[in-house]
């Protein structure tokens, strides 16, 4: 199972930011984003589970192992 960090706006539209193999690492990424940028009123950073079969290649993002 993979975990994707997404930013969601007030209209419910989500944009993927980064993907991790470990859920705890993805949650730490969300914590780091909130600590760096604060808590914006119209944005939310969320972690979503993604099946490996849904991802065409791994790693999809160059910084997938950062943080």
For residues 47 and 67, give the distance between their C-alpha atoms in angstroms, rounded to a whole number: 15
Q: Could you tell me which residue, 63 or 53, shows the higher pLDDT?
A: 53
SS3 57: coil
Residue 66: pLDDT band by 50, 70, 90 thresholds?
very low
Report the pLDDT value the prediction gives residue 67, as an integer from 0 to 100.
Answer: 40
Residue ranges of domains in the chain: 2-52
pLDDT in tens, 5-58: 999 999 999 999 999 999 999 999 999 999 999 998 999 999 999 987 777 665
Q: Which of 7, 30, 2 is nearest to 17 (CA)?
A: 7
Report the pLDDT value the prediction gives residue 42, as an integer from 0 to 100.
Answer: 93
């Amino acid at each position: 199972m993979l975990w994707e960090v997404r930013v969601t706006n007030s209209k419910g539209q989500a944009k993927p930011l980064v993907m991790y193999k470990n859920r705890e690492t993805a949650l730490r990424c969300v914590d780091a984003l909130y600590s760096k940028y604060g808590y914006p009123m119209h944005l939310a950073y969320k972690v979503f589970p993604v099946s490996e079969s849904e991802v065409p290649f791994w790693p999809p993002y160059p910084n997938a192992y950062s943080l």
